[in-house]
Structure 1
């Protein structure tokens, strides 16, 4: 009779390992399409962020760009507009937020107070406010009369919140990336 030792691999051991490996590869190949389909579509990724040239916007002017289907107001504020926004008693606002909290640091590390970037949608019912209108020379929503100041903060009207500040960063002195 032939004797076999348990320490030596047998042909049966090889078949078990090969079958298990083949089953694992097959399961991974079957699951991969299910996991891959959960990734965002290319059109969604394309809208995730956008870059804009702000170098041509003169002081006291504003442009409107689109990001994720929403209007974004990029305003180059004058020294007077900044001073007016900073002089407001924050505790008197319906949605108290200082002007410094609504702007970010630029490439040099200093707050870029001259640039205001806000989502141009009224926080009351979703209308698009008009620029350089209203008592505070900021934004005025013609739908229900909400008035925002030069920092995009609600001052009067039914809107409960300030205009939203989207995530953005300065790539250089003349380029901005939103999203």
Structure 2
């Protein structure tokens, strides 16, 4: 079975690209192919015919494929770059480096004077800041202090002439009861003859009173904060009916669960007015 091959002619589209040497670029042409002597491109020979040394690059062949006969045509041409090298424009004017301004007219002639002024300003600002901080803290602490009505109750004056001998008076001081006992001579002797060193909370009667006839102490039981009853108990002093604590005539714990003696508050005597000031 014989096959017939056919040649195809190509019409190249005009191009705007050109090679570096100025020759128009034809991508589908093989410009490197050389004609053999005596060929149809040979102008010196009158014999026309194909090249004998090598097959032309534009020639192709025919082969069979799944769909029938397939004709191939190959055209070789040098690769042409689509980009052109552009050199940097060197005609731009080069800018000179900026000149540093001269600050000589603004500089001080004597640096010692400026340093002293700077130290003075820094010190003044420090003193002002410390003063402001102190006043702020003082005002804040004043807001936390007790009000005038609370300060009025901080101290209580009691006239002693109104308390007969052998009697108790209960007053209120800072929300707590205070016992004031005008003791008789026999009660003083009884409180001082006891061996106080053997007590649960050892304390002498002299340490608990500033004047022997006047016993001043808080009326709060040291066990659970109850209020004891005066002139009661096994020792003729005070008795707490809640839990059975007994105190003697000096307010010292003698029996029951109370661990400590009745507390003695801070007080002073005003002999000129015949009063006692508690607090």
**Does TM, scored on the shorter chain, surpass 0.5?**
yes
Q: Note closer, same or farther for the CA distance 1:58–1:21 as it changes in structure 2 (3 Å cut).
A: same
Q: Name the residue aligned to 1:67.
A: 173
Q: TM-score, normalised by structure 2?
A: 0.55
Q: Name the residue aligned to 2:217.
A: 118
Q: Decide which moves more: 14-23 or 128-137.
A: 14-23
Equivalent residue in structure 1 for 2:247, among 148, 152, 171: 148
Q: Name the residue aligned to 1:34.
A: 137
Q: Note closer, same or farther for the CA distance 1:15–1:6 as it changes in structure 2 (3 Å cut).
A: closer
Q: TM-score, normalised by structure 1?
A: 0.82
Give the CA deviation at 1:38. Answer: 2.5
Q: Name the residue aligned to 1:134.
A: 233
Query: How far apart, in 1, do the equivalents of 2:137 and 2:265 lie?
Result: 33
Unaligned runs of 5+ in 2: 1-103
Query: How far apart, in 2, do the equivalents of 1:6 and 1:48 lie?
Result: 62
Is 1:164 the counterpart of 2:263? The answer is yes
Give the CA deviation at 1:85. Answer: 0.8
Give the CA deviation at 1:97. Answer: 1.2
Specify which structure has the bigger relative contact order, considering alpha-carbon pairs within 8 angstroms and separated by 6 or more residues. 1
Query: How far apart, in 2, do the equivalents of 1:146 and 1:36 lie?
Result: 47
Q: Name the residue aligned to 1:91.
A: 197
Unaligned runs of 5+ in 1: 105-111
Q: Name the residue aligned to 1:46.
A: 152
Count residues in correspondence. 170
- C-alpha RMSD of matched pairs (Å): 2.5
Give the CA deviation at 1:64. Answer: 1.0
Give the CA deviation at 1:69. Answer: 1.4
Query: How far apart, in 2, do the equivalents of 1:33 and 1:48 lie?
Result: 27
Question: CA deviation digits over 1:99-137, x for unaligned, max 9?
Answer: 111101xxxxxxx10000001000000001111111222
Give the CA deviation at 1:29. Answer: 2.1
Query: How far apart, in 2, do the equivalents of 1:23 and 1:86 lie?
Result: 63
Structure showing the higher helix proportion among its residues: 1
Query: What secondary structure is seen at the aligned counterpart in 2 of 1:37?
Result: helix
* Greater gyration radius: 2
Query: How far apart, in 1, do the equivalents of 2:236 and 2:167 lie?
Result: 12
Q: Decide which moves more: 136-145 or 38-47.
A: 38-47
